[in-house]
Structure 1
Amino acid sequence: MKAIPVPAIAGLYLFQPTPHRDERGFFSRTFDAGVARSVGLDPDAFLQDSVSRSVRGVLRGLHLRSGAGEAKLVRCSFGEVFDVVVDLRPDSPTFRAVETFRLSGDTQVSIYIPAGCAHGFQALSDIADVSYRIDRVHNPDEDVTIAYNDPELAIPWPLTPTLLSERDKTAPSLAEVLPT
């Protein structure tokens, strides 16, 4: 497994495993504490693991946490998703940068998303499972949502969204959440 910095957003890393494939399928390490430490991440900081299952076209996001924020390690463990990270840290050299990825269960690539960045994804396969390692216990009072279709962000979602939560449908614009 190797950690690859993503220059478009400061502190964002791809963790690329080396799946071992044979006629049975594959075996892949999906987390390595030593590799995390090698890029300055504390592997013991992760406190919760969660998973979401979505069907094709479902869009989740853009979500982040207020206060101290929330760092997370995100991986599509089954299926395929179009994943989006937006840097909303005012003191970051990549403030307001948007980066997109295609994550899949075939590659098992993970993304480390620093606290203060918004995250969202859209399921591209019939079923997509996304796994999260989160560095803070979830507090719903700190949840912040930004409109997935905000024109300022101009995210190129690959599919017309088929299903959104009420929270995502009615999310405020980036300008409303983060006035300049």
Structure 2
Amino acid sequence: MRHNRGVRIDTTDLADVLVLTPEPHRDERGLFTRTFDADEFDAHLGSPGAAARFVQDSQSRSVGGVIRGMHGRLGRGEAKLVRCAHGAVHDVLVDIRPGSPTFGRQQAFRLDDETFRHLYVPPGFLHGFQALTDVADVCYRIDRPHDPSEDIGVRWDDAHLAINWPTPPTIVSPRDASAGDWAALLAAIGA
């Protein structure tokens, strides 16, 4: 754990995944928080300039019960920072890096607009979430432009992954409902 300037950075059970937890200043007006600090991030990674590699910000809005995932990318993959700016989500990561000490393992996190916790997800992970509130806005900061030709995925209800979603899904996109299974993903990544 590293703590400085109001952002705590913790490791997780998954190799190289970090949880960043801002510590907001609260008073009678409300609050102010720093959601990201490039210097602190770079210092924790021991990689000057790592934060500068983020090139694209995106946001999704989901209604309660929606499941988005499980998505990943081929090639170099993508590193991303993920946070829930409004509402709450049950966020799930699966390590798909052959040779990683946590290959095939998953971990779930609650991301919400109360703790401001967010995740640093290195390249080589499947990512998905379920909206836990009536509306949930999820923000993504990624280190390279999205290329749909590199998209890969595993069904949200794949039997091998057996993800424990908090509630039955209300909506799953046709793309996510027709995603392949774990065996197909292993073939796609050569594992």
Which TM class, normalised by the smaller chain length?
A: over 0.9
Cα distance in 2 between the residues matched to 1:87 and 1:173:
15
Are 1:150 and 2:158 matched, yes or no?
A: yes
TM-score by length of 1: 0.96
Return 5+ residue gaps in structure 1 as ranges.
none
Q: SS of the residue aligned with 2:157? A: coil
Which residue, 102, 113, 117 being the options, matches 1:94? 102
Sequence identity percentage: 50
Shift of 1:22: 2.1
Shift of 1:152: 1.1
- The 1-side partners of 2:142 and 2:95 are apart by 17
Instruction: Say which of 21, 25, 29 aligns to 1:20.
Output: 25
What's the offset of the Cα at 1:21?
A: 1.6
One-letter code of the match for 2:71? Answer: H
Counterpart for residue 123 of structure 1: 131
Work out whether 1:5 is the aligned partner of 2:16.
Answer: no
Cα deviation per residue 1:124-151 (whole Å; 9 max; x = unaligned)? 0001000010001111111111111111
* Structure 2: distance between partners of 1:76 and 1:129: 6
- Paired residue for 2:43? 38
SS in 2 for 1:178: helix
2:154 and 2:26 map into 1 onto residues whose CA distance is: 39
**Aligned AA for 2:98?**
P
Q: For residue 74 of structure 1, what is the amino acid of its counterpart?
A: V
Q: What SS class does the counterpart of residue 109 from structure 2 fall into?
A: strand
TM-score (ref. length: structure 2): 0.91
Report if aligned partners of 1:145, 1:167 keep a CA contact under 8 Å in 2: no
The one-letter amino acid paired with 2:78 is: E
Corresponding residue number in structure 1 for 2:149: 141
Q: Which amino acid aligns with 2:10?
A: I
